[in-house]
Amino acid sequence: MSKLTRPRQGRMIAGVCAALAQRFGTSNTTMRVLFVLSCLLPGPQFLLYIALWILIPQEKNVTYAYSP
């Protein structure tokens, strides 16, 4: 399993679902659908999303050196 970080690529709002999808080896779409379906149930889903947005670090900007 990979480290839990919010990716810079492939995210819609904050990258929380994309980070969880990478961590658990599922697709971004599957994780987003699960989140939307969970919002139909009573509970603090939006507060949890905001907390994860704050707590999960953003992926570091990686620059690649070009060498011919």
The full DSSP string for 1-27 is -----B-SSS-SSSSHHHHHHHHHT--
Higher pLDDT, 35 or 68: 35
Q: What was the pLDDT predicted at 16?
A: 92
pLDDT 10s digits, 24-58:
999 999 999 999 999 999 989 999 999 999 999 88
- Written as six digits, the tokens of 28 are 């971004």
Among candidates 51, 48, 21, 50, which has minimal Cα distance to 33?
Answer: 21
Higher pLDDT, 21 or 68: 21
**Band of residue 1 on the pLDDT scale cut at 50, 70, 90:** low
Q: Please say whether the beta carbons of 32 and 49 come within 8 A.
A: no
Where do the structural domains in the chain lie, given as residue ranges?
1-61
